[in-house]
Amino acid sequence: MAEFHSIKVAELTKETKDTVSVTFDIPEHLQQSFEFIQGQYLTLRKMINGEDIRRSYSLCTSPLENKWKVAIKKIPGGTFSTYANEELKEGDEIELSEPAGSFYVDVDKETSKNYIAFAAGSGITPMLSIIKTHLLSEPNSTFKLFYLNRTVKSIIFKEEIESLKNQFFGRFQVFYFLTKEQRDIPFLNGRFDTEKLNVLTKTFIDIEDTNDCFICGPQEMIFLIRDHLVEAGLDAENIHYELFFSGDSKKDEKHIAEVLEQKVDGTEVTIIDGGKEFHFVMEEDFDNILDGALAAGADLPFACKGGVCSTCKCKVVEGNVEMKINYALVESEVKQNLVLSCQAVPTTEKVVVDFDV
């Protein structure tokens, strides 16, 4: 079960017109539990209009800073992001779960690696944590950041990025790409597309000399860059990515429709969590085990509910389910019968899932 702690907001800073950064005051007795690795995220929880709303936000600080800070960009119609940008105040308490996530590679003080990173908008938050940590800890490593935004004013953490450029002069390079403002160098105008990526991998990125690549942004951008880099010769294992939100591509829609067709109504579900069993019957209104279980009164871990974060992971020990989408589990995990409960549609009359994995 995800453990949440009530934590005070120490500082709120308006980073851009629609993004606020939130620094948390983690009390000393919890600091050990809140120790984190660069690139990890926190899940924030708040009851808003009677609904238990949870969202995961990447930490933008480095573990070396002993500071817990996230940035929250207001999304049109986004319940949590609107609350954070418009109502949250310094001194307020908010529930936080301990850091989680696997968007990182190990730091090695002796190594001299060349890293590249692609970020769009608020995708900069985990990157900042990753970049600072590697550059501070690995004196011989370098980083190139390709950062996409709408306008100069919408660039989150521009000042901090510029000061990192000075601090790590010669080891850290940044290339800003803008979609809504034209600049003199046409190459820096517009989104990442095949043409741009061709230029990047021919002139700015030496693939043979690149060790790891980090990508954070929307699904389409991530997969475009990933596929391009693999084609250019970078090992897929060295490409690490974190999605902002789940996709709603045509391919997903088709797959989801196929999965929902296999749904069995009235499945008897048994949940094993914390060594205890919880039984319920899936109601017609719900298509996935997590929602069905929460409606029946279970207390289970979840965050994105979009197949991205894996907080809701469990193991199918009896029966069968099909996942609508899965951006979080790798093939070897799926082979071990692990599923994302927020995406797990029961396809047999009885299903038993174990959250103690």
Footprint of ligand FES (CB under 6 A): 302-305, 307-312, 328, 340, 342
**Tokens 């709120």 found at:** 12
Helix ranges (DSSP H) in the chain:
79-86, 124-137, 158-167, 194-199, 219-232, 250-261, 289-295, 331-335
Residue 157 or 355: which CB sits closer to ligand FES? 355
In angstroms, what is the minimal distance from the CB of 342 to ligand FES? 3
In angstroms, what is the minimal distance from the CB of 271 to ligand FES? 14
In angstroms, what is the minimal distance from the CB of 216 to ligand FES? 16
In angstroms, what is the minimal distance from the CB of 307 to ligand FES? 5
3-state helix, strand, coil split of the chain in percent (to 5) is: 30, 30, 40
Q: What burial class does residue 211 get, using C-beta atoms within 10 Å of its C-beta: 0-12 exposed, 13-18 middle, 19+ buried?
A: middle
User: Of all helices (H) and strands (E), which one includes residue 337?
Assistant: none
Q: Which residues of 171-209 are buried (b: 16+ CB within 10 A; e: fewer)?
A: bbebeebbeeeeeeeeebeeebeeebbeebbeeebebee
In angstroms, what is the minimal distance from the CB of 349 to ligand FES? 24
Cα–chain center distance at 118 = 14
Please tell me the total number of residues recorded for the chain in this structure: 357
In angstroms, what is the minimal distance from the CB of 330 to ligand FES? 13
Residue 212 or 354: which CB sits closer to ligand FES? 354
Residue 145 or 308: which CB sits closer to ligand FES? 308
Residue 22 or 309: which CB sits closer to ligand FES? 309
Residue 225 or 294: which CB sits closer to ligand FES? 294
In angstroms, what is the minimal distance from the CB of 338 to ligand FES? 11
Residue 205 or 304: which CB sits closer to ligand FES? 304
Contact 179, 191 (CB under 8 A): yes
Residue 152 or 260: which CB sits closer to ligand FES? 260
- Torsion (CA) 8, 73, 61, 312 in degrees, nearest 10: 80
